[in-house]
Amino acid sequence: MPTLRLTAEERAMLGGRVGEGVALAMRVIVGQARISDAPRLVGITSAHVDSCLYHGQVSLDFAHRLVELGARVRVPTTLNVGSTDLIHPGLVRDQALASTGRELMAAYVELGCTPSFTCAPYQLPQRPGPGEHIAWAESNAIVFANSVLGARTDRYGDFLDICAAITGRAPYAGLQTPEARRGTVVFDCRSLGEFTELTYPLLGHHIGSVVGAGIPVLLGIPPEASEDDLKALGAAAASAGGVALFHAVGVTPEAPTSVDGLPVRVVDVETLRRVRRELSADIAELDAVSVGTPHASYAECVRLADLVVGLPLKLPFYVSTARSTRNRLAEDGVLRVLEAAGVSVVVDTCTYVTAILSPAWKTVMTNSGKWAHYAPGNINVRAILGSLSECVASARAGHVVLDA
């Protein structure tokens, strides 16, 4: 077991010479470093905190304790979704949850975090570049940062994330190190032919369910794949398994040029058809539609606005997005188009983590592999996975409409 070496500054933080709040956070970081056999700590340039999502009284207690001890974040720190929509508080049906969620979100802002409240911090203007050491929580943000941006972050759960932000340090272990970022298995996707919008979440779900926490190397991903495509792939892989990094040869910055010596799994069209059947209830009845998990980008919202213009929607339709994206949509007039069509624009949270959808609704359609994976267990609904155009067509028809 390697000996953990701390710098003089780190020892000062641990010893309380920089404040009791920093000392508490440093004890957590050092404890995790010893558990993970890290030889040292590494300075980080940013953090993304998931601890602002309420999971019980301990969530509030820890945040309030840090505030009482005078802790403040040392690096730019964004916040993940919370348990309520602060702009549209009436959307949340459980007002007790909304109240505690609001209190927790406010505590993290008091610690100096930016009130971004988005699960997609990579859509914000300031984002890390290749090789930057960061401490991001939220599974889809982690896999996007590592894979698409080429930044370096391990998986940081609740309280580790905010402690890293307060100390500006993370254990030099796991995906912070180059050795741990090498691919472990190849997925040959070249027989899939033309990729569609749904190929990415279906492929991601399949990969995650196969590799667990391994690091997949993907052959055959189109070089023109957009960030929204890669977001959908990574989010599904991180929810179906523990994928925190994938390499798409010819697409992502750290992808290897040779895959010799790695085991190979071939992905065919029938595999993705099977995955879609697994993620979708075999039923035509539909109660609502929810898209935007992870949070819909500006481009996705514009496309949704183009699709909903015209015939009215017969079913409740929700899109979750970041408040910064909503502000841009409002400035450009796109928000007015969405709301006029009957689309509810949810910010600061997501429909599968808090009580927004009616408990009477039993079947909900989505374009997100992540939402389809989690919502049945989280909010007791049957999910149906479809493309964005299929979601809109279904909301107009009042029942499930699939292209194929």
Q: What is the DSSP string of 75-118?
A: S-EEE---SS-SS-GGG-S-HHHHHHHHHHHHHHHHTT-B----
Q: Is residue 404 part of a domain?
A: no
Residue 236, CA distances (Å) to 172, 229, 265, 368 in order: 27, 11, 18, 8
The Cα–Cα gap between 363 and 382 comes to 5
Average pLDDT over residues 10-16: 98
pLDDT one-digit tens code per residue, 361-377: 999 999 999 999 999 99
Q: Is residue 72 part of a domain?
A: yes
State whether 329 and 265 are in the same domain. no
Domain count, the chain: 3
Q: Is residue 402 part of a domain?
A: no
Q: Is residue 403 part of a domain?
A: no
> Side chain identity at 274, as an amino acid letter?
R
State whether 195 and 256 are in the same domain. yes
Q: What is the CATH number of the domain that holds 91?
A: 3.30.499
Q: pLDDT band for position 382 (50/70/90)?
A: very high
Nearest Cα to Cα of residue 351 among 314, 296, 312: 296
State whether 228 and 288 are in the same domain. no
Rg of the Cα trace of the chain? 21
Q: What is the DSSP string of 24-71?
A: HHHHHHHHHHHHTT-SBEEE-S-EEE-TTS--SHHHHHHHHHHHHTT-
Q: What percent of the chain has pLDDT over 70?
A: 100
Average pLDDT over residues 166-171: 98
Average pLDDT over residues 121-148: 97
Q: Do the beta carbons of residue 117 and residue 348 sit within 8 Å?
A: yes
Average pLDDT over residues 276-287: 96
Q: Is residue 335 part of a domain?
A: yes
State whether 259 and 302 are in the same domain. no
State whether 317 and 350 are in the same domain. yes
Residue 56, CA distances (Å) to 104, 347, 401 in order: 10, 22, 39
Average pLDDT over residues 46-71: 97
Look up residue 159 and give its two tokens: 């309280």
State whether 14 and 44 are in the same domain. yes
The residue among 151, 177, 203 that closes a domain is: 177
Q: 247-248 and 47-49: which strand pairing?
A: unpaired
Predicted pLDDT of residue 404: 67
State whether 14 and 160 are in the same domain. yes
State whether 301 and 252 are in the same domain. no
The residue among 277, 292, 316 that closes a domain is: 277
Average pLDDT over residues 117-134: 97
**DSSP H stretches of helix in 145-297:** 160-167, 199-211, 227-240, 269-279
The residue among 277, 312, 332 that closes a domain is: 277
Nearest Cα to Cα of residue 41 among 156, 182, 172: 172
Q: 343-347 and 317-321: which strand pairing?
A: parallel
Q: pLDDT band for position 1 (50/70/90)?
A: low
State whether 223 and 284 are in the same domain. no
Average pLDDT over residues 187-212: 97
Nearest Cα to Cα of residue 65 among 35, 29, 100, 23: 23
Predicted pLDDT of residue 2: 74
Q: Is residue 73 part of a domain?
A: yes
Look up residue 265 and give its two tokens: 């799994």
Predicted pLDDT of residue 6: 98
State whether 155 and 30 are in the same domain. yes
Q: pLDDT band for position 311 (50/70/90)?
A: confident
Residue 346 has pLDDT above 70, yes or no: yes
State whether 52 and 171 are in the same domain. yes
Q: What is the CATH number of the domain that holds 296?
A: 3.30.499.10
pLDDT one-digit tens code per residue, 227-276: 999 999 999 999 999 999 999 999 999 999 999 999 999 999 999 999 99
Q: Is residue 294 part of a domain?
A: yes
State whether 160 and 13 are in the same domain. yes
Query: Reduced to 3 states, what is the DSSP secondary structure of residue 389?
Result: helix
Round the average pLDDT of the chain to a whole number and report it: 97
Residue 52 is part of which domain span? 8-177
Q: Is residue 344 part of a domain?
A: yes
Predicted pLDDT of residue 4: 97
Residue 253, CA distances (Å) to 18, 149, 229 in order: 38, 7, 16
